[in-house]
Structure 1
Amino acid sequence: MGKRLTWWIIAGLLLGGLLGWGLNTYYAPMGEAGTARLAAIAGYLDIPTQMFLHLIKMIIAPLVVSTLVVGIAHMGGGSAIGRVGLKAFLWFVCASLVSLTLGLILVNVLHPGTGLNLPLPDAAAGSGVDRSSFDVAKFFIHIVPTSAIDAMATNDILQLVIFSLFFGVGLAAVGEKGAPLVRGLESLVAVMLTVTGYVMLFAPVAVFCAVARTLATKGLGVIGDLAFFMGSFYIGLAVLWTVLLGACFLFIGRRTGTLIRYLRDPILLGFSTASSEAAYPRTLDALDRFGVPPKIASFVLPLGYSFNLDGSMMYMTFASIFIAQAYGIHLDWPTMIQMLLILMITSKGIAGVPRASLVVITGTLAHFNIPEAGILLILAVDHFLDMGRTATNVIGNAVASVVVARWEGQLDPPEAAEATVAGMQPPVTADATSFQDGPKG
């Protein structure tokens, strides 16, 4: 079923692209009437996509809380949790610096904005992006939930992680008294992963409609206008993939190829829907089949979705300096390094903010006196860029989970992982006993 789902998603991606291109080609030349017609069609195409994303959001909170609490409860004492958390944090910091630095270097090597020679806009011109949504002080206050129920209702991953961390540590501390609750949560994990398998059956339709809607309204022309910028960024993502997978190879060797094979579904889902939430359940399942203990994957992965968005971070330096180049604004290396360090901090709060990358970029541009209106230059193609950076986020967080598991000496050997895969029958399943193993090694 897993392979069939992959091919169905690819088919949806290609057929959706053809339909969207055909609709745009037919209606766009009709002027305002054609534009209105395309808007109406896009509205209908958006319905299945939004329904699928709502289904994903429906399962995210119970899935994150149950897997994370059970994982923490089975880690044992607080020392094990602190050790895994510290290793994950160190990896996140290193990966963030690498991602931001690669974006900084490549945009200066490729110079995608040089030659555009855009006139400086009026000082009052804004970007149209509300950057008041992000504030460092508010972010640190926001990470502590005032209500676990509210955090679940809004699918605030970072708040869910904080609640689950406290709840899991408390559950481990009470020992045998909490055993019935642990077993109940293990059953909930099994149920939610099975429900996830059902939800994923709708993925090809959602992908088909999402791609068709985007190309129908945007057309291929908008890609051509900024083709060099987009191509340069995707070259950067390819380099980042090479670095991440190369680092992964240093830890697990040839099994890196097997990991990529297991991750093809979540990568395709992330790319085609531009939604990290859509890829989360499949990534968790892929890591489980690969041999990453659920107690580690369910702890590192949610943290990664808040602190380790490698593709998004590369985009921030790349896009910020691209806009400066487009306006002919020269930035020296000390200034660009200062920009990198600021983005290193502000990027850690982007997970729950709408148009998160654009919000942080807008605030950074203002800090360095670069016209915020430059955001409008990349806004038209942001969806196509978001597809690539979301897929990269999936890779980055999966690699982080594998590395931490290997670092802990708890990555299952190839034979055990392959045996697990051979016994999987629907694509997303879970056995409640799979969460009952204690720390290994």
Structure 2
Amino acid sequence: MVQKIKTGITEGKKVYSFRNLYRHLYAQVIIAIICGIIVGYFWPGLGEALKPLGDAFIKLVKMIITPVIFLTIVSGIAGMSDLRKVGRVAGKAFAYFFTFSTLALIIGLIVGNVLQPGHGLHINPATLDEAAVAAYAAKAHDTSIIAFLLNIIPATVVSAFAEGNILQVLFFSVLFGIALGAVGDKGKPVLNFIQALIVPFFKLVAILMKAAPIGAFGAIAFTIGRYGLGSVANLAYLVLTFYITSLLFIVLVLGAVCRRCGFSIFSLLNYIKDELVLVLGTSSSESALPSLMEKMEKAGAKKTVVGLVMPAGYSFNLDGTNIYMTLATLFIAQALDIHLPFGQQILLLLVAMLSSKGAAGIAGAGFITLAATLQVLPDLPVAGLTLILGIDRFMSECRALTNVIGNTIACIVVAKWENELDEKRLRKTLGGT
């Protein structure tokens, strides 16, 4: 028999072994990401061919998102004695979303003016190929706030679930939860069934998460194989500026919110590290939504708050996307030597507030909302999007990570405001402040 050798570091009574490390999801995904980068860089053709692995995993997660949202919201709302609390939670959530989304836009505007990442490129607008971004411009043109609001109402109950539209499922779930709670004892059998159904569905989430390393491997291999690391080099300053700005927003702004609520931003990031690494590997914030909702409940937030705030935040609380929009717009203006006066920058801020909501839920929403913003600003050509088309994929990871962290904190804050947060459990779960 071959003797098994265990390698580890002893600290007090704890033994940290590499073998135990591999069992954690975040470690598996990190290894998969590294392998994906290697494959995509050295064998780009093979990397591109691995795209279905990432697509398949995202489809698996999307398959489970809508029933998890429905079950969580309905069981939470129907079990409440005071249905007015639903409106109060929603109102506080949207107040938080508006405040921090606006703050993110302003920060992006300030950083873009101070660091000026596009300064000195001196690109002639006439040399830009507008055909390369025509598809994004068309989608942006079709997007409006009115159309977005009307789209919240599903054509049928079944279509909301069939299409996987989070906002439509959220809308129906809130109405159904209110109706179920209003019928009283007659609705108890349905409520009991829904509460029992939650357990196997979250178990299914845990099972699907085991495929996360495979999905991350395929997604990263495709990105590097298709776009190459070299595509980042020419515009590295913009990418670096965006990442640093997002990091400072998380640590300083959101970190201050966390301290106000009695815990550390770093302890929270450690608690959700599995989901963050998963988002990094797949460039999709939706891939982490089901497990994040479960973790927020385990951390002490009540089911009703989690069910309302987390899904709604995925459409209305996009901190990373908002930083990206103002920063990227200023980069394009600077690269084309187009001066945007203060009045135009205020217009940019107002337009970005609306367009970031109008394209919510659309694939590639960050780039599409940027296209919608440029179409409204009279001095900037939409063809300017071609300047960042090649590196947008590399910034999408940072957008998604910042959005996820912002929504997680929003959930805790709103739960605290509503006295629906078990703060002792939160401190115990996060390991103290």
Distance in structure 2 (CA, Å) of the matches to 1:146 and 1:192: 26
Distance in structure 1 (CA, Å) of the matches to 2:252 and 2:80: 30
Is 1:90–2:95 an aligned residue pair?
A: yes
Deviations 1:290-324 (A, max 9, x none): 11112211111011011111111111111111111
Contact persistence 1:134–1:353 (CA under 8 A): no
Equivalent residue for 1:47? 52
Is 1:19–2:35 an aligned residue pair?
A: no
Offset at residue 142 of structure 1 (A): 1.0
C-alpha change, 1:260 and 1:303, in structure 2 (3 Å) is same
- Gap runs ≥5 in structure 1: 25-37, 422-441
Among 346, 349, 366, the residue aligned to 2:358: 349
What TM-score does the superposition give when structure 2 sets the normalisation length? Answer: 0.89
What is the total number of aligned residue pairs between the two structures?
A: 406
Equivalent residue for 1:104? 109
Distance in structure 2 (CA, Å) of the matches to 1:251 and 1:341: 29
Look up the equivalent residue of 2:76 and give its one-letter code.
G
Q: The residue matched to 1:121 in structure 2 has which SS?
A: helix
Identity %: 35
Equivalent residue for 1:283? 292
Distance in structure 2 (CA, Å) of the matches to 1:309 and 1:264: 19
Offset at residue 326 of structure 1 (A): 1.0
Distance in structure 2 (CA, Å) of the matches to 1:107 and 1:147: 44
Is 1:411–2:426 an aligned residue pair?
A: no
Distance in structure 2 (CA, Å) of the matches to 1:420 and 1:86: 27
Distance in structure 2 (CA, Å) of the matches to 1:110 and 1:416: 38
What TM-score does the superposition give when structure 1 sets the normalisation length? Answer: 0.88
Is 1:239–2:263 an aligned residue pair?
A: no
Alignment of 1:211-226 (within 5 A): 211-226=220-235
Alignment RMSD, CA only? 2.0
Among 142, 151, 156, the residue aligned to 1:147: 156
Offset at residue 380 of structure 1 (A): 0.8
Among 320, 331, 335, the residue aligned to 1:322: 331
Among 176, 191, 206, the residue aligned to 2:215: 206
Look up the equivalent residue of 2:58 and give its one-letter code.
L
Equivalent residue for 1:360? 369
Look up the equivalent residue of 2:50 and give its one-letter code.
L
Among 99, 118, 129, the residue aligned to 2:123: 118
Look up the equivalent residue of 2:89 and give its one-letter code.
V
Contact persistence 1:121–1:373 (CA under 8 A): no
Distance in structure 2 (CA, Å) of the matches to 1:122 and 1:219: 23
Equivalent residue for 1:5? 25
Offset at residue 340 of structure 1 (A): 0.5
Equivalent residue for 1:432? none
- Gap runs ≥5 in structure 2: 1-19
Distance in structure 2 (CA, Å) of the matches to 1:353 and 1:148: 20
Deviations 1:80-121 (A, max 9, x none): 111111110110010111111111111111101111111022
Equivalent residue for 1:31? none
Distance in structure 1 (CA, Å) of the matches to 2:266 and 2:76: 26
Look up the equivalent residue of 2:36 and give its one-letter code.
G
Deviations 1:229-272 (A, max 9, x none): 10011111112112443243243223544322211111111121
Is 1:377–2:397 an aligned residue pair?
A: no
Among 397, 413, 418, the residue aligned to 1:387: 397
